Structures are given as structure tokens and as C-alpha cells.
Amino acid sequence: MDLTALNNTLAHIENDARSGQSLLLYALVKTLSIPQGGHSYLLTKLKEMAPQTRQLAYGLMELMAQGATAKPEWKEAEQRMDRAIAG
């Protein structure tokens, strides 16, 4: 499983945790991480993303479809994102 989208998202968030693009990606990661939560994320948020950010979002959604959210690598990346966002 190619985790490039997850790793690039993590790097994006750790590099600039306070940017709007980082917060949009973080919200998507948190939504995708909720098992059986219906993954409710307003798809209209994709319009607010820059093209590069939107590509990361598509990659994250594909990883969720492949079951990556249950992998330890996803959980570790999510924890690092939590710390970056918390400051």
C-alpha cells in the first residue's frame, strides 16, 4: 500500500499547522479515522482546497477505501498531526 498521500499530508501539516489548507486536511484525516462513522465530510470543502491540497485529499480518501486507516502507520501519522495542530 502506497502511503505517499498520508506522508505528504503529515509533512504539509507539520510544516504549516496553522494554515487553512492544513486545517482542511486535518479535518479530513480525523473524519476518515472514525471507524463506521459514516465519514461525513462536506465535499464542498474540496472547493476551498488548492489543487495540490485537493490531490492529497483524494489520496487520503483512496487510502481509507483500501483500509489504511486501520494501519499503525495511519494512527502514528494522525498522532503527529494532532501534536502539530495543538502546537
> For the whole prediction, is pTM greater than 0.85?
yes
Q: What is the pLDDT of residues 22-44, one digit of tens each?
A: 999 999 999 898 876 666 667 78
Round to whole Å and give the CA distance between 50 and 34.
Answer: 25
Residue 8: predicted pLDDT: 98
Closest CA to 56 of 32, 72, 87: 32
> With 90 as the cut, is the pLDDT of residue 45 above it?
no
